[in-house]
């Protein structure tokens, strides 16, 4: 499991890019988590250890839940790609120099 201490040492751009993916997962599959993200936004952005310690396992569970419901790859797990068609196009036209991956996802 990801150690919140490691997340606390990431450069801001990387942290925010990863957070964009977390927000996307909440939009896809967990309305309660989305509400929690809104409520805890300040402590998330200041990388509060306890908040990240709760958030990270919840986020991993979303992905695990979707993948386990789609063991035969019938297409449900494609929902995890929400925003990625646009993000990959944006990364490509900017030659992978302007945006970090998570930043491109945030624009989607
Ligand atoms: Zn992604």
* Cβ-Cβ contacts under 8 Å for 29 (sequence gap 6 or more): 62, 65, 66, 79
Q: Which CA distances in Å does 4 have to 16, 34, 38, 52, 54?
A: 14, 20, 19, 6, 10
Measured CA to CA, the distance from residue 8 to residue 90 in angstroms comes to 28
Q: Residue 2 has what pLDDT?
A: 60
What string of pLDDT tens digits covers the 108 residues of the chain? 566 677 778 999 999 999 999 999 999 889 999 999 999 999 999 999 999 999 999 999 998 888 898 888 788 888 888 889 999 999 999 999 999 999 999 998
The whole model's pTM is what? 0.83
Residues in the chain: 108
Gap from CA of 101 to ligand 1 centroid (Å)? 6
Q: Residue 3 has what pLDDT?
A: 66
Q: Is 82 helix (H, G, I), strand (E, B) or coil?
A: coil
Q: The CATH number of the domain where 29 resides is what?
A: 1.20.1090.10
Gap from CA of 31 to ligand 1 centroid (Å)? 20
Gap from CA of 51 to ligand 1 centroid (Å)? 22
Structural domains counted in the chain: 1
Q: Residue 105 has what pLDDT?
A: 93
- Expressed as residue numbers, the domain containing 49 is 4-107
């Amino acid at each position: 499991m990801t150690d919140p201490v490691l997340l606390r040492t990431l450069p801001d751009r990387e942290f925010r890019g990863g957070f964009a993916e977390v927000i996307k997962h909440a939009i896809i599959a967990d309305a309660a988590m989305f509400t929690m993200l809104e409520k805890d936004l300040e402590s998330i952005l200041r990388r509060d250890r306890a908040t990240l310690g709760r958030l990270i396992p919840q986020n991993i569970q979303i992905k695990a839940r979707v993948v386990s419901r789609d063991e035969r790859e019938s297409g449900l797990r494609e929902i995890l790609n929400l925003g990625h068609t646009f993000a990959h196009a944006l990364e490509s036209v900017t030659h992978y120099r302007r945006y970090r991956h998570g930043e491109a996802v945030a624009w989607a």
